[in-house]
């Protein structure tokens, strides 16, 4: 029953969002077309439900060859691969909005673990890899909320970025997504949707921990 209502919520909200946001997409498309490398949309293979592959859609925010430059799959704060307009889109999460079409198609849900590329996915333990996509990945999720400052955390670490991600970020993200699977419900999803908007406005807020009192303790606090 939960899965039925979750899919219904996905369809209703994605269709509504497409209708409302399409006029706002036009100036973004024009801006991207005439800035950076003129690249508007970015398609990338990601891991989805039951570890199957699909292509995710985003607004382009980085140089086309960015996977082969710098830190590769890991983006740092003030990353030189990010285009000027791309920086704004990433900070406000507007770059993620084209994924409403992925939601409509059923590739992802509104709430769930973020779909990862193979290299980042491999940072999870084998146990987490076997379980994390037992649920459909999402546009947002508890991991996205808690690690809203991920780029800054990695940038400020004294460790090499990939080492820090594998030793600190990935284990805790995995624990968060296991918590989500144990506590998944429409109420939980609605709270996560609200918190996603909340932390964009108040990035240092501790409200997620106040609302979800049983969250695993963040090792960086």
Task: Say how far apart CA 202 and CA 110 lie, in whole Å.
Answer: 21
What does the domain layout of the chain look like in residue ranges?
Answer: 2-211
| CA neighbor of 172 nearest in space, from 136, 197, 134, 145 | 145
The average pLDDT across 202-216 equals: 93
Name the 3-class secondary structure at 15: helix
pLDDT for 151-201, tens place per residue?
777 777 788 888 888 988 899 999 999 999 999 999 999 999 999 999 988
Residue 209 has pLDDT above 90, yes or no: yes
Q: How far is CA 198 from CA 4, 215, 216, in A?
A: 27, 18, 20
Asked if residues 26 and 72 have their Cβ atoms less than 8 Å apart, the reply is no
Q: How far is CA 219 from CA 13, 113, 184, in A?
A: 34, 19, 23
């Amino acid at each position: 029953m939960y899965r039925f209502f979750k899919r219904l919520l996905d369809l209703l909200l994605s269709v509504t969002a497409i209708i409302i946001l399409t006029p706002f997409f036009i100036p973004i498309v024009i801006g991207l077309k005439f800035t950076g490398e003129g690249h508007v949309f970015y398609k990338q293979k990601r891991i989805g439900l039951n570890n199957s592959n699909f292509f995710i859609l985003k607004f382009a925010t980085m140089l086309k060859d960015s996977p082969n430059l710098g830190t590769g799959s890991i983006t740092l704060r003030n990353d030189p691969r990010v285009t000027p307009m791309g920086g704004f889109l990433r900070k406000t999460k507007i770059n993620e909005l084209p994924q409403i079409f992925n939601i409509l198609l059923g590739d992802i849900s509104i709430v769930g673990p973020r779909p990862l590329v193979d290299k980042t996915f491999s940072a999870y333990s084998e146990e987490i890899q076997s379980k994390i996509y037992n649920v459909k990945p999402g546009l947002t999720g508890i991991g996205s909320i808690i690690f809203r400052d991920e780029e800054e955390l990695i940038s400020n670490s004294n460790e090499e970025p990939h080492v820090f991600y594998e030793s600190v970020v990935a284990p805790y993200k995995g624990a968060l997504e296991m918590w989500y699977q144990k506590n998944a419900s429409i109420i939980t999803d609605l709270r996560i949707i609200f918190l996603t908007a909340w932390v964009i406005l108040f990035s240092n807020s501790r409200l997620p921990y106040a609302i979800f009192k049983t969250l695993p303790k963040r090792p960086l606090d």
